[in-house]
Amino acid sequence: MKAWLLQRMTDWLNQELDEPAGWPMCDFERLCFEIRPADVLLVEGRTRIGRVIQTVTRSIWTHSALYLGRVDDVSNPHSRELLLQYLPDACQHQPLVLEAVLGQGVIVTPLQAYEGYHLRICRPRGLAVSDIQQVISYAIARLGMGYDMRQMFDLARLMLPFALLPRRWHSSLFAHDAGSEVRTVCSTLIAEAFTSVQFPILPELDGDLTEMRIRPRNARLFTPRDFDYSPYFDIIKYPYFPSTEAHPYQHMPWQLPES
């Protein structure tokens, strides 16, 4: 009975509420050509759980995934072998992302699955090639891990009128202060991967300019928007309009009001 209820709740939270936009916000083909291993892919989702995350984080980004490249781009033989164990034969030559998904846990997904979504690339600035592979290997080693089910219950609680809940049911998950404990599992996984090579996202700073000390932030505090906000990631956008001209905005098909 418990498993049945968990599955029903998961299906309800993962249900898409919006139809795909008639015209995508980004050029998916160009994004596929330009994306690089260890880039963070931000996704504007259309599910119930996505709506909740947007409300909680005050951002359009509801999900984050780590781009792995193709199987042959993974240089560590053990990581490559592990990746193949979780990958259907039909996907072995496709560009891949690794993500944590409610109801599925940590999985690997073809990048093609996000065609038609509003996407953004966050690229870790200056990340060494050896560290790129270490970040990827760290994430691949987590394949098969489960999703944090407590977070699912916390998200479901937010769907109820907050003021009507007993105080003991109020969860610290939704506190916006720096001391709150849990954010989104997808971002936690990626934050931990970058922390494994001491790459900063939003580190905590102590001291002054003459004696600065840096501490990594708790990985459970991160949300997808933090990769967008971080000064250590370059933001790369591929808007869906002609980009071959020197001044592409001058050639957009504007429909202007008649004077």
Q: Residue 162 is part of a domain; what is its CATH number?
A: 3.90.1720.10
Does some domain include residue 56? yes
What is the Cα–Cα distance from 24 to 69, expressed in whole angstroms?
Answer: 23
Task: Give me the pLDDT at residue 256, please.
Answer: 79
Task: Give me the pLDDT at residue 105, please.
Answer: 87
Task: Give me the pLDDT at residue 177, please.
Answer: 42
Task: Give me the pLDDT at residue 47, please.
Answer: 85
pTM for this one?
0.82
Does some domain include residue 158? yes
Tokens of 20: 């795909």
Q: DSSP secondary-structure letter at 87?
A: S
What is the Cα–Cα distance from 222 to 188, expressed in whole angstroms?
Answer: 6
Task: Give me the pLDDT at residue 106, please.
Answer: 92
Tokens of 32: 């596929």
Task: Give me the pLDDT at residue 183, please.
Answer: 36
Does some domain include residue 174? yes
Does some domain include residue 2? no
Task: Give me the pLDDT at residue 209, please.
Answer: 66
Task: Give me the pLDDT at residue 88, please.
Answer: 84
State the total domains in the chain: 1
Task: Give me the pLDDT at residue 154, please.
Answer: 57
Does some domain include residue 147? yes
Task: Give me the pLDDT at residue 102, please.
Answer: 83
Neighbour count for residue 41 (Cβ, 10 Å): 23
Task: Give me the pLDDT at residue 153, please.
Answer: 56
Per-residue pLDDT tens digits for 170-225? 555 444 443 333 334 688 899 999 999 999 999 887 766 677 778 888 887 788 99
E-strand ranges in the chain read 40-44, 63-69, 96-101, 105-110, 118-124, 204-208, 211-215, 233-236
Percentage helix, strand, coil for the chain under 3-state DSSP, each rounded to 5? 40, 20, 40
Residue ranges of the chain with pLDDT lower than 50?
A: 155, 159, 163-164, 173-184
Does some domain include residue 14? no
Does some domain include residue 224? yes
For residue 191, give its domain range: 22-241
CA distances from 54 to 29, 48, 138 (A): 26, 10, 28
Task: Give me the pLDDT at residue 167, please.
Answer: 52
Does some domain include residue 130? yes
